[in-house]
A and B are shown apart, each in its own frame.
Chain A
Amino acid sequence: MTALIEIEHLTKRFGTFTAVEDVSFSVARGEVVGFLGPNGAGKSTTMRMLAGFMTPTAGTARICGHDVVEEPVAAKRCLGFLPEGAPTYPEMTVQGFLSFCARVRGFRGAELTERVARAMSLTRLQGVRLQPIETLSKGFKRRVGLAQALLHDPPVLVLDEPTDGLDPNQKHEVRELIRRMAPEKAIVISTHILEEVEAVCTRAIIIAHGRIVVDATPRALLGDAPSLDHVFRRLTMPSPAAEAAPTAQEAA
């Protein structure tokens, strides 16, 4: 298995506040990593550094072997990224927006049309393709962001809360989509929904206060605890987390 995402000692400080501290992990083709943690734990910051939006204070990351600091454009070419909140240009139509993203990614003519059509069919957006994005519901907007990340069929997908704001049916669809794509891609998704980790992820990484506290399969993580909720709380609540971390990592 080749590691498509390699993160090495990634650290991000804002002034005196350390958002992410010495985070290292790698993700191979076929893996779906669930990136978990309470709000403010450093999930989005890590993903933003991976996507080349934030510059790491120390450490680095490589996507398909391309360093995100040294060769940002090459790294971004291999990456499909869904930013937190799935931002899009509200005045553009779905098709116009996706065509713009495809054009930036270097597709032209028939291939561009075909890529956009395929991304829209994967995320079931054909019905609204000519509507301005601002008129769409939250779930559709999220899917537009997802379609944008899938346009170029990237080997690496980094999705920041892909199912946030979706109804249960849409969540199910997105999870199915992720599962279908999983074998040939390296995927990192961040989420608050622990059942999602059990449903789609082959590996769970829990981050708290900017540090990785657990890196294990969902099954190993669960151990003999009654539910992932219990495990999550035990690992990320302020004081017990410190003691729980080393034992959990040994368990992994």
Chain B
Amino acid sequence: MIAVFRRELAAYFATPVASVFIVVFLVASGALTFTVGGFFARGQADLLPFFSFIPWLFMFLVPALTMRLWAEERRLGTIELLLTLPLAQWQAVLGKFLAAWAFCAIALALTFPLWLTVNYLGDPDNGVILAGYAGCLLLAGAYLALGAAISVTTRNQVIAFVVAVAACFVFSAAGSPVVTEFLSARLPVLAEVARALSVSDRLAGFTRGVLVARDIIFFASFIGFWLFVNMILLDLRKAD
């Protein structure tokens, strides 16, 4: 599993994927934070504007990472090689997921200038900021697990990307007022379900510095569930 992890992580940096992803992520997150987010105008030393854009950025950027995870292996035929090495399937699934997750962690860590800036300008609560980063990392993990499970079903990277963006959108938008109000007016039962499954709702707690066991368990089981689905789908469709 560690061998798969190392190979995958190295593969990001061996191709332009890493630099393109990181540059786009840093530029977009920075630009949104300072312009739309009103980083200076708010007059508060915190990273809330930054964290509020992360779910939307990840919605597009994380599927860009996951689209190649399995679809690429299928297209190149290397899936046959990978799955005939003496590895259990869960090791291949987990190795790939952890590599992509570590890559997201690196991208997030590279936003440290924002953190330096708020600390220079004011006196923020660094505990809240750390909780926010932890929440973002968990969100990235949730989207990655979801995207990886989608990638395993196709050999076409574009399809993997579009479907993953749509799926991430469903789980982000499920807790938004538009959806919940619509549902509670018509199908009150579903409104509760939608709220409970919303990843952006869960993230909000973290960015306010509130670490609740329930939210952590939610992300852990969300990731676990989709990795499990990934494994099942891989087993069913590995040779297609």
Contact = CB atoms under 8 A, between A and B. Distances in A.
B213 interface: no
Contact of B86 (A77, A84, A89, A100): A77
Given A92-B14, A100-B3, A103-B6, A51 B76 contact: no
B189 interface: no
Contact of A76 (B3, B76, B85, B239): B85
Nearest to A73: B86
Contacts of A84: 77, 80
A53 interface: yes
B166 interface: no
A91 B11 contact: yes
A73 B10 CA distance: 25
What is the interface residue range for chain B against chain A? 20 to 34
Contacts of B7: 89, 92, 100
Contacts of A101: 85
Interface class of chain B by DSSP: helix
B81 A104 contact: no
Contacts of A103: 2-3, 6
B83 A104 contact: no
A53 B11 contact: no
Given A83-B80, A100-B3, A103-B6, A92 B85 contact: no
Contacts of A90: 76
Interface in A65-102: 72-74, 76-77, 79, 81, 83-85, 87-92, 96, 100-101
A88 B15 CA distance: 15
Interface in B1-56: 2-4, 6-7, 10-11, 14-15
Given A81-B84, A87-B81, A103-B6, A48 B76 contact: no
A104 to B, nearest CB: 5
A52 interface: yes
A163 interface: no
Nearest to B15: A91
Contact of A48 (B2, B6, B239): B239
A105 B86 CA distance: 6
A148 B81 contact: yes
Contacts of B11: 89, 91-92
Contacts of B78: 87-89
A152 B78 CA distance: 19
B2 to A, nearest CB: 8
B84 A53 contact: yes
A110 B86 CA distance: 21
B88 interface: yes
A83 B81 contact: yes
Interface string B59-92: 0000000000000000011101101111110000
A54 interface: yes
Nearest to A91: B14
B76 A104 contact: no
B84 A85 contact: no
Contact of A53 (B15, B83, B87): B83
Interface in B73-131: 76-78, 80-81, 83-88
A54 B235 CA distance: 9
Contacts of B83: 52-53
Contacts of B2: 103
Nearest to B76: A87
Contacts of A96: 10
Given A53-B83, A104-B85, 14 more contacts: A55-B239, A81-B84, A83-B77, A83-B84, A84-B80, A85-B77, A88-B78, A88-B81, A89-B76, A90-B76, A92-B7, A92-B11, A92-B14, A104-B3
Interface of A: 48, 51-55, 72-74, 76-77, 79, 81, 83-85, 87-92, 96, 100-101, 103-106, 145, 148
Interface of B: 2-4, 6-7, 10-11, 14-15, 76-78, 80-81, 83-88, 235, 238-239
7 contacts: A52-B84, A83-B77, A87-B80, A89-B7, A92-B11, A104-B4, A104-B86
Across chains A and B, which 8 residue pairs bring their CB atoms closest together, nearest first?
A: A87-B77, A103-B3, A76-B86, A83-B80, A51-B84, A54-B239, A77-B86, A104-B3
